[in-house]
A and B are shown apart, each in its own frame.
Chain A
């Protein structure tokens, strides 16, 4: 898998002493559809990924697929609310092989230099007793089209998360305007 980046440890704050730390960041290359944060330290309470997402896949919008720890067994379930400007579509599913966030990012028919934005939260990622819940808020406006997405996902697996892969839908690549940054959020000592 190309575009794989090793996670680095950071250290920082959101208020007092270093509660929100930058761990690693990665950009699309235009030639790979996967960006992976690996070797994620277990020293935080929660993780957040923020960034801009732009796929080379066909259409105005494309899907974002997420795998945790490289797990591709049918153990992901999801619910999503998607707003299109004219209506809101709720949807959901079970037994998927990845966390599938549908229509969340821009495809190659979107306006030039328009990217989606995402905020992905993974709570209690280092727990070894809890299944893992993901929450994503994101989407894009394309001056007359576009999608807004509220998404939740469950990985039925209690292992601590040490790697996260963000995969472009449509078997396409991440454009160079794609930028993901991984942050760790500390709990109280």
Chain B
């Protein structure tokens, strides 16, 4: 393996990581911060990808409007799922099993609707004209669009970090995470904020779907296939830790890139789970976890 191959696989790993990190950030916000297991997260990713496909292929809106459009549709749908379904389960004191059944059922029905509308044949979204072509990066020539995905992921993660640490709304959300009862007793409308944050998480998944479309392609099961890896990313990073999600996303992206090249695609996936098991043996709360188990 020469230097060019190492550089190329590292960049490939970082591109995969960029998509995983975006997707996992939405999942870790709702699971780690709010204790909600959303197995429909992959569905929102897939839906975002199909919204992108439609807007790029059949309208003049173009790729740039796909991103806010996919965010809007998937976040509103996610907020609706939380407000109408998950909040009711919480009110009835139902636990995680019920959340899994509800969100999985929603994802299955939603996937069938997507198959009905867009069909089951795998498709591809085209790359916007501005991002076609490649850039020379030292020993390698790398696609502009893939670099754009890495940049988008970094920008969105930075925005999330600023939101949670430097805005009033972010502080309220963190107070709910730390002590929901005390926060409500100080006037925080926790049910409303939970809905908003759930919508934010699913909205980011929709954006990730649009970004991944031209790289990974589209098919109605793309969300289910990614879900297991996403859970590995957030568990390995430490539930609720955005920084942990970034670190584990990069680690897993690189393992998949190098594993696929040196071994095979299947072996790379097995390797991901193997690494997770080994790390969790020595660090059960994940790489940057706060020692908080799933609530």
The answer to whether A and B belong to the same complex is no
Using CB atoms and an 8 Å cutoff, list the residues of chain A in contact with chain B. Answer: none
